[in-house]
């Protein structure tokens, strides 16, 4: 069978599984809709959390970024993995003991303020919509290639599927759907990685194959890739080009952004006990590590195979995968010197002889443009793996994107129905009315998310990195101070969040989208103007520090929190009990 038939078959089976689970586990109450009834086991919650966490950015885009950024791409691995350690140690058990459905619930009660709750609802919506845009783009990329439909059509198909099981099942349906999605995505990621590792190095363990020698020779794979890179005018794959301060800033922003992401935090409200929240975090970290330690190997395999396959080869002789990806517009070739060959190189190289040769052929810029997001998806095709493996990767990518999109949509719907409508606008709304409001909010959110998927502000991982920066700049300080500082009051927390979020938004709009300096075409020229040499993806760290400073300063000059609030802080900091913490 060809790839398309295999894709329809495998994707169809997995979608039927997800929808079946959603129908079986549909929510009948707001507690089931928001936190799955609070009765999920630590292992199941760990698997669901891992699926929620490993989005299209992890599955599709992270290895793609590492393929092209090389050593510099390590910031995503360090930041996202380190963030989970922070989450497990500093947040999950304490928030679970507090026993609220949502992050705005915690902030609203801890800071005894409707204003604080309103600010966090806005922050949650900004972060969640920024994040979900990346997921919808990932869905569109997969559908456009493997089902041979337009990217926009692919996004719409993804919207319909997510809407069905997120709106029907709520957190209960999403949790058990995500358990299935974790199994699909991890199998889909590992199978081709193992195949290609054996093919290229003879070692079935990708993590070891990446550092091994090429089959049939004594040259190390990374040395071979370094040689290929320099021949093409790129920096060595194992060298970094980012400034140390930017590496540190991006890593920190991703770490604290992880710990402040509302769709991840809410997962720890779905277990029975506080100690189960810790166990869930441990299981999730272990399950996530399987993919995260494999991603650098997949990046190396994909880049080496790509260069071997395309560079200085006749365009007419390109295999089917090349022309199939050309149809999506995510891979483009322009024969600038009319020789019919593909020249893939870096025209900014310091290799004068190389550039002189390129100019002699009339070349200005590489003839091949490749979107980062296709590398993982195209990797099995480039390596000539069986068609069923290629289709399996498509199903895994969809599982990764849809699982995270569903979690984010639930956060959006809960923020609107529970935190905005019930807690602020209409406290007397019935449970049935609140449930239908939540479903309606999810439906509207799907439509908005689809718009961002059709008109994305960048490739998947870059968009997601900005969401982490926004979370770091807004949520994280307020949550940490709410747990560990009895003196932090509502004035300090609200001021810090507002200043942090606005500063991050300003920097992102200025340097990522060129809003104040000539538009997106001017973005590359603005890099020299980055504050402290820090990129927009890393600026969340700076905005977070400003948030902390503003919060502490304002709290010093305003009244201390009421005694009962300080007692709450004292209570949630003592994990005694690790016993029942009833959500209410």
- Each residue's pLDDT tens digit, 521-551: 666 667 778 898 898 888 999 999 999 999 9
Domain boundary among 327, 353, 375: 375
Domain boundary among 352, 375, 398: 375
pLDDT one-digit tens code per residue, 179-220: 888 888 899 999 999 999 999 998 999 999 888 888 877 888
* Same domain, yes or no: 363 and 394: no
Q: Does residue 527 belong to any structural domain of this protein?
A: no
* Same domain, yes or no: 27 and 105: yes
Q: Nearest CA to 166 among 155, 154, 177?
A: 177
* Same domain, yes or no: 164 and 109: yes
* Same domain, yes or no: 293 and 314: no
333: enclosing H helix or E strand? strand 331-333
**580 by DSSP, 3-state: which?**
strand
Tell me: pLDDT of 457 over 80.
no
* Same domain, yes or no: 274 and 135: yes
* Same domain, yes or no: 92 and 120: yes
Q: Does residue 443 belong to any structural domain of this protein?
A: yes
pLDDT one-digit tens code per residue, 35-82: 555 567 888 888 888 887 777 778 887 888 888 888 888 888 888 888
Beta bridge partners of 369: 332
Domain that holds residue 369: 308-375
DSSP 3-state helix, strand, coil percentages of the chain (rounded to 5)? 75, 0, 20
pLDDT at 496: 94
Q: State how many domains the chain has.
A: 2
pLDDT at 548: 96
Q: How many CB atoms lie within 10 A of CB 2?
A: 10
* Same domain, yes or no: 400 and 344: no
* Same domain, yes or no: 364 and 388: no
Q: Does residue 161 belong to any structural domain of this protein?
A: yes
pLDDT at 463: 63
Domain boundary among 354, 375, 396: 375
Cβ within 8 Å of residue 574, ≥6 positions away: none
Handedness of CA 113, 114, 117, 119 (dihedral sign): negative
* Same domain, yes or no: 102 and 195: yes
* Same domain, yes or no: 207 and 332: no
End-to-end CA distance of the chain: 53
pLDDT at 581: 46
């Amino acid at each position: 069978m060809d790839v398309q038939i295999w894709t329809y078959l495998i994707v169809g089976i997995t979608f039927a599984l997800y929808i079946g689970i959603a129908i079986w586990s549909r929510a009948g109450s707001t507690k089931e809709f928001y936190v799955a009834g609070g009765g999920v086991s630590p292992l199941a919650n760990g698997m669901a959390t891992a699926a929620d966490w490993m989005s299209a950015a992890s599955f599709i885009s992270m290895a793609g970024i590492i393929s092209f950024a090389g050593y510099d791409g390590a910031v995503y691995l360090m930041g996202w993995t380190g963030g989970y350690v922070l989450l497990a140690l500093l947040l999950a058990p304490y928030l679970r003991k507090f026993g609220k459905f949502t992050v705005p619930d915690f902030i609203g009660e801890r800071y005894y303020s409707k204003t604080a709750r309103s600010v966090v609802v806005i922050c949650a919506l900004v972060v969640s919509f920024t994040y979900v845009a990346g997921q919808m783009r990932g869905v569109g990329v997969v559908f456009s290639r493997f089902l041979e439909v337009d990217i926009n059509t692919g996004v719409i198909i993804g919207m319909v599927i997510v809407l069905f099981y997120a709106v029907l099942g709520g957190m209960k349906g999403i949790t058990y759907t995500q358990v299935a999605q974790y199994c699909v995505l991890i199998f889909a990621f590992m199978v081709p990685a193992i195949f290609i590792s054996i093919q290229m190095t003879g070692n079935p363990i990708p993590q070891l194959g990446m550092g091994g020698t090429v089959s049939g020779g004594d040259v190390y794979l990374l040395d071979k890739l370094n040689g290929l890179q320099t021949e093409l005018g790129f920096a060595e794959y194992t060298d970094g080009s980012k400034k140390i301060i930017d590496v540190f800033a991006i890593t920190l922003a991703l770490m604290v952004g992880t710990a402040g992401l509302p769709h991840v935090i809410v997962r720890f409200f779905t277990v029975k006990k506080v100690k189960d929240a810790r166990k869930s975090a441990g299981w999730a970290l272990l399950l996530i590590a399987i993919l995260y330690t494999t991603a650098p190997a997949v990046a190396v395999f994909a880049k080496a195979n790509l260069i071997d396959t395309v560079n200085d080869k006749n365009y007419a002789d390109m295999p089917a995968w090349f022309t199939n990806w050309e149809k999506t517009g995510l891979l483009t070739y322009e024969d600038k010197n009319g020789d019919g060959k593909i020249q893939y190189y870096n025209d900014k190289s310091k290799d004068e002889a190389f550039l002189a040769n390129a100019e002699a052929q009339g070349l200005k810029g590489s003839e091949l443009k490749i979107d980062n997001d296709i590398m993982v998806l195209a990797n099995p095709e480039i390596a000539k793996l069986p068609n069923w493996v290629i289709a399996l990767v498509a199903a895994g990518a969809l599982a990764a994107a849809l699982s995270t999109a569903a979690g984010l949509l639930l956060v959006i719907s809960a923020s609107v129905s529970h935190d905005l409508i019930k807690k602020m606008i209409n406290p007397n709304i019935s449970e049935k009315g609140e449930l239908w409001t939540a479903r309606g909010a999810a439906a509207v959110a799907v439509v908005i998310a689809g718009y961002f998927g059709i008109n994305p502000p960048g490739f998947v991982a870059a968009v997601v990195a900005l969401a982490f920066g926004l979370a770091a700049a807004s949520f994280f300080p307020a949550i940490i101070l709410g747990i560990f500082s009895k003196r932090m009051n509502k004035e300090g927390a609200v001021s810090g969040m507002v200043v942090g979020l606005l500063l991050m938004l300003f920097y992102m709009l200025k340097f990522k989208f060129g809003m104040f300096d000539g538009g997106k075409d001017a973005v590359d020229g603005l890099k020299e103007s980055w504050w402290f040499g820090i990129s927009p993806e890393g600026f969340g760290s700076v905005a977070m520090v400003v948030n902390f400073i503003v919060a502490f300063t304002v709290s010093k000059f305003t009244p201390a929190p009421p005694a009962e609030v300080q007692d709450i802080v004292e209570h949630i900091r003592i994990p005694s009990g690790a016993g029942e913490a009833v959500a209410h």
